[in-house]
Amino acid sequence: MSKSNYLSRVCDFDLQSALDAMGAVLIEGAKWCGKTSTAANVARSILLMQDTDNARSYQEMADTKPSLLLKGENPRLIDEWQMSPILWDAVRFEVDNRGLAGQFILTGSAVPADNVTSHTGTGRFARILMRPMSLYESKESNGTVSLADLFDGKHEIEGKSDLSIEHIAFALCRGGFPATINKSDATALRMAVDYVEAIINQDISRVDGVEKNPTRVRLLLRSLARNIATMTSAQTILGDVESTETSISDKTFAVYYNALRRIFVVEDMLAWSPSLRSKAAIRTSPKRHFVDPSIATAAMRINPAAVLQDFEYFGFLFEALCARDVRVYAQRNDGDVFHYHDKSGLEADMIVQLRNGRWGAVEVKLGNRQIEQAADNLLKLKEKINTDKMRDPSFLLILTGGQFAYRRKDGVLVVPIGCLKN
């Protein structure tokens, strides 16, 4: 596993900080998102539980004397640890026994059942959620505008994105999986399709050992893809699937959807609940999102050319791309991402809220025609916030697929996604 070809990730700093503070670090995230490469970049010894030549031996060793698998120079990487869940408790015991920081890195692309470990790992494990690469990590965003700077009040921004609309359409179909970067266009797009086929035919059933109907999984993914970046209800999705004459019960939907969560395929965006000046009712439904927009395009079997022919759907996919990137950047700043929508129709596509209480509102617009409306929405939202109980927003931001980053006279910031970084 070569370190010389490693592409730096936003979470590299978080990983090193976690190793300095805790005995073990758990990196979770979707398959192919780069967990193993990121961990191996700092590890001094590696155990690959999926190594086909040794997997059976490793499993037998884990069942008889798991401490033998923990021997090696630290930090020791144990990749796909959930294949032998007993390793969790073995690592926890070893961390306690040694009393040192930075001993182990565990990576996993599936969340095991709650009852497979006897201890949560509190006080021993730091946890890092890793997502597919943002455009800044894939070196497609030039990073001239920093989210951290915006929170610090540095709003005199300027920049120019090099990303055309055509490039954005390709980037969201290709996805942020490191293995697709620097491949030929045809190969990269094919890998996204293969990823979804693996979800349908293998991964979703392996996560809990419950066999799932591939036809139902495919239809479920397609319905979620059609409704990406919306607050579509479970009942609507069920109706969408059943319109194809494929029946699916509420219970089956819940089982399938939970399995998709556990393998980090879906990542819904929760609603934000601020303190408002009035008693306006806030919609609490989550927004439907995949961890990467390429899952949606692959499930729909569409390519960049097809995306460019449907600008309405392109807009939803672009919002999904921005959501992925903003989540990566927000996490680096110790923040979370929500959405806002009240019953008056006022909305913000994303709210970035830091743990220290600072927050910023984001609207996403693919083109320039809707910038005025987006700015008006953000300013109305600002006026609704009860500043006796909450801070003023650190920024009001419109993310676009355009070229130029600038500050409007009303203080609203316009930033191309091809200029943003953490």
- Does 177 reside within a domain? yes
How is residue 322 written in tokens? Answer: 């921005």
Q: For residue 394, what are the CA distances in angstroms to 36, 85, 371, 416, 417? A: 35, 43, 19, 19, 19
Which pLDDT score, from 0 to 100, does residue 113 have? Answer: 61
Which pLDDT score, from 0 to 100, does residue 120 have? Answer: 62
Which pLDDT score, from 0 to 100, does residue 270 have? Answer: 97
Listed residues 107, 130, 153: the one ending a domain: 130
Q: Is residue 313 domain-shared with residue 397, that is, in the same domain? A: yes
Which pLDDT score, from 0 to 100, does residue 232 have? Answer: 95
| Phi and psi at residue 353, to the nearest 5° | -120, 125
Q: Is residue 76 domain-shared with residue 202, that is, in the same domain? A: no
- Pinpoint the alpha helices (H) of 44-131: 55-64, 86-98
Residue 109 CA to residue 202 CA, distance in Å, equals 13
Which pLDDT score, from 0 to 100, does residue 118 have? Answer: 52
pTM value > 0.75: yes
* Residue 73, SS3 per DSSP: coil
Binned average pLDDT, 10 residues per bin, the chain of 422 residues: 80 96 96 95 94 86 91 95 91 93 93 59 88 97 98 97 97 96 94 96 90 94 97 93 83 94 96 85 92 98 97 97 98 97 93 97 93 96 92 97 97 98 98
Which pLDDT score, from 0 to 100, does residue 209 have? Answer: 85
Residue 382 CA to residue 394 CA, distance in Å, equals 10
Residue 65 CA to residue 88 CA, distance in Å, equals 13
Total structural domains within the chain:
2
Which pLDDT score, from 0 to 100, does residue 6 have? Answer: 87
Q: For residue 375, what are the CA distances in angstroms to 133, 165, 372? A: 28, 22, 5
Which pLDDT score, from 0 to 100, does residue 404 have? Answer: 97
Listed residues 71, 106, 130: the one ending a domain: 130
- Does 136 reside within a domain? no
- Does 58 reside within a domain? yes
| Phi and psi at residue 83, to the nearest 5° | -65, -25
- Does 77 reside within a domain? yes
Listed residues 101, 130, 159: the one ending a domain: 130
Q: Which domain holds residue 322?
A: 145-421
